Structure 1
Amino acid sequence: MWENFIGREIRRCNRNLLTINVIVLVIVGAVVAFNWGYLTNWFRGTAAIDPLQIAKLQSADDLARNFVKFDVPEVLESGFQEVEEKDGKVVAVKADYQITWVGGRALVLKTKPNSTNTHLEGALVKVPNDVMAALKRDVPAERQGVLLPFMLDTVDYRDDGWWILGLCVPMVALALWNLNKWSRRMNDPASHPIVKTLGGEPAVVQYGPQLDMEMTGGGEKVGAATLTPSFLVVPNAFHTNIARLEDAAWVYKKITKHSVNFIPTGKTYEAVVWTRTGTMISVNGKEAQVEQLLATVATRAPWVVGGFSAELDNAWKKDRAGFLAAVDQRRGAAKGASAGAAK
């Protein structure tokens, strides 16, 4: 039953759904792997450490757990701050750079403004180059060796973890949700939105052979869409809209104007086709292509209501039954006229 055009489209959409979400999981896995050490520290929190041990380190990376906490007798102002500027003026102080002594070595601290806290918790990280250069300018050359090449960041050392979680957790949840959809649709093709949009499994049985035959013939191409004698088919990465022209009810051209800084940059054109089931199919293309598509639909389904107006939009949204009744009257008149012409 599914070895036909509809089945192939279902498999194509499922394959794309699987591929993109596996890629998402791989990307998340790579981000987690790259930040594994940081995330391990982030989840485990700060570990107590003797300040004398810090003095013996050559690098912040010498510790597997570089989220640490310890107490010091005092902290000293260095005179350097991290500030926010606007129009060349300081508008806010974001952090102070202070100094504390640990085992005869000077450890730079990044703290909240005006902090006097001697119980310190944070992450041992590399001192920014500009900060280290500024500090060394104020220290005699023979004393510069006392400055440790890393600092304790007590301010925003956990921020990256929140960013990673905030991005990765929703991505993983979305990917798993989509993979669940993929599995369900693989096991039950009739549950795919393509089938539901067309009218369910009975519609596939009824219209599938005709659709196969018409798609084999090629149809008329308008952008990504294919218009056959009886169907409008518009595929995208994860779905394929298939509408019977017999079900077409309302068609119109949609023009979207684009601008940058209020300067017009162009227009895009869409052919919009509404079916009696409430499915909207949009086809992008050049203006001439869009107009040709709408004209062809109107020729093959002469009962459709053409054009857009506020009155038609209001009737479609608020009185769908009345709108479709008018379409059915037009259908009857069109088919009656066609039958009369055939005689």
Structure 2
Amino acid sequence: MTTSSSWLLAEARRTSRNRCIVAALVLACVAGWLGAQAPYLREFFRGPTTVTAQHLDTLSPTNAKAPHWVRLRAEEMLDTGIEEITVRKKRGVETGRSVSGHYFAARLGEQFVLVKAHGDSAPGKELVGEVRALPTDVAQRLFAHPNAQKLRPHFMPLLLDLHDFRTKGWWMLGLAGVLVLAAGGWGLVALGRMQNPQIHPTIARASQWGRLHAVTRILDQELRAPDTQKIGGWTLTANHLLRKQWLNLDLYNLNELLWAHPQVTKKKLYYVIPAGETHALVLKWRDASITLQGKEDAVATAFAHIATHQPWILLGWNEGYEKLYGRQRMQMARDVQKNRQRWQAAQAGVPAGASA
């Protein structure tokens, strides 16, 4: 047997289920991403592979199964004089430059391998770096001199980059960890709400207004009323503000509203040229504030709607209301409650002062 509150509980389960789906997709994407990086991660955890000149000559930077992070000992380090310059610019104007790489030739018996060093100091004979393909522009500069052409057959078609191989991995694992924790926590909370929708914030809030089935029945009736208005992704009824989205379910009681005012934001290009304006209706409760974006006429209609159904609240913006809401919100709530009591007494025909 279904109750009148079943559709609101069903909505809470639906949005919670969708959040579980999103969390599972994020976890699956993280797992797939880490799986695609498996060759790199194996070397990250295993450390550099010690190789000889003969072994190094057989390695291919495009072979995922071959080691890329290697350790070897050079017999001699020769400075090629080739540098990599990084130019810094701001708005197209050069602001400085620095040496970001220096190339050396490491002699390994009768063969050589080009080594890219970072920093100011020259590398020692113990080399640890990543095997990469020899850049074409660097090779052209290295063998530009006729005398250097004689040495070209002795150079391996490789580059040993002495950068920190694990830097990428730390960033990768850190980002993956953050995503897993965020998605896992988000998914667990959503799973709990799906299994027990009573703990969903919206359901818990609605339960404070009365029996859930009674609140839902009233809301259902209001949603069918002709004066119901949609604005900024929300549905405005006589006494409630509802938002139903794929991932969100929000419900607020307009009878608990303290203050409502339209808001106009003027946009300018380069702080000078007018570029139109945006309109919104700002609704403020004691513990929440919601901005409903919409066209000017929609905002005006929504403001008039609230002024008609909740005439006891503070309407319109002024600096005094802003200060009161920011510094003495409890006092504002008491003042609004008194306004509501006076309005209800007037509607019931009770003489002023008799309601005390």
TM beyond 0.5: yes
Which residue, 187, 190, 195 being the options, matches 1:179?
187
Residue 88 of structure 1 and its aligned partner are, at CA, apart by 5.0
Describe the superposition over 1:293-342 as per-residue Cα deviations: whole angstroms up to 9, x where unpaired.
1110110011010122332122223222221121122112222332339x
Which residue, 113, 117, 121 being the options, matches 1:111?
117
Q: Within 5 A, what are the aligned runs for 1:156-235?
A: 156-200=164-208, 203-217=211-225, 219-235=228-244
Residue 6 of structure 1 and its aligned partner are, at CA, apart by 1.8
Determine the C-alpha separation between the residues in 2 that align with 1:326 and 1:200: 22
Contact persistence 1:234–1:283 (CA under 8 A)? no
Determine the C-alpha separation between the residues in 1 that align with 2:159 and 2:215: 71
Q: TM-score, normalised by structure 2?
A: 0.85
Percentage of pairs with the same residue: 25
Contact persistence 2:17–2:191 (CA under 8 A)? no
For the residue of structure 1 that corresponds to 2:87, the secondary structure is: strand
Determine the C-alpha separation between the residues in 1 that align with 2:65 and 2:213: 66
Which residue, 264, 267, 271 being the options, matches 2:277?
267
Q: TM-score, normalised by structure 1?
A: 0.88
Determine the C-alpha separation between the residues in 1 that align with 2:127 and 2:40: 19
For the residue of structure 1 that corresponds to 2:293, the secondary structure is: strand
* Residue in 1 that maps onto 2:84: 82
Which residue, 287, 297, 313 being the options, matches 2:306?
297
For the residue of structure 2 that corresponds to 1:61, the secondary structure is: coil
Determine the C-alpha separation between the residues in 2 that align with 1:178 and 1:119: 48
Contact persistence 2:74–2:106 (CA under 8 A)? yes
* Residue in 1 that maps onto 2:160: 152
Determine the C-alpha separation between the residues in 1 that align with 2:315 and 2:209: 30
Describe the superposition over 1:67-125 as per-residue Cα deviations: whole angstroms up to 9, x where unpaired.
11122122111222222113457621112121112243321111123313111111112
* Cα RMSD, aligned residues only: 2.6
Q: 1:285 to 1:174 in 2, by over 3 A?
A: same
Unaligned runs of 5+ in 1: none
* Residue in 2 that maps onto 1:20: 22
Q: 1:62 to 1:135 in 2, by over 3 A?
A: farther
Describe the superposition over 1:265-290 as per-residue Cα deviations: whole angstroms up to 9, x where unpaired.
333222121234x2223211112211
Q: 1:90 to 1:119 in 2, by over 3 A?
A: farther
Which deviates further from its counterpart, 84-93 or 122-131? Answer: 84-93
For the residue of structure 2 that corresponds to 1:115, the secondary structure is: coil
How many pairs does the alignment contain? Answer: 340
Describe the superposition over 1:47-69 as per-residue Cα deviations: whole angstroms up to 9, x where unpaired.
22223321333556376332111
Unaligned runs of 5+ in 2: 351-356
Determine the C-alpha separation between the residues in 2 that align with 1:64 and 1:317: 64
* Residue in 2 that maps onto 1:71: 73
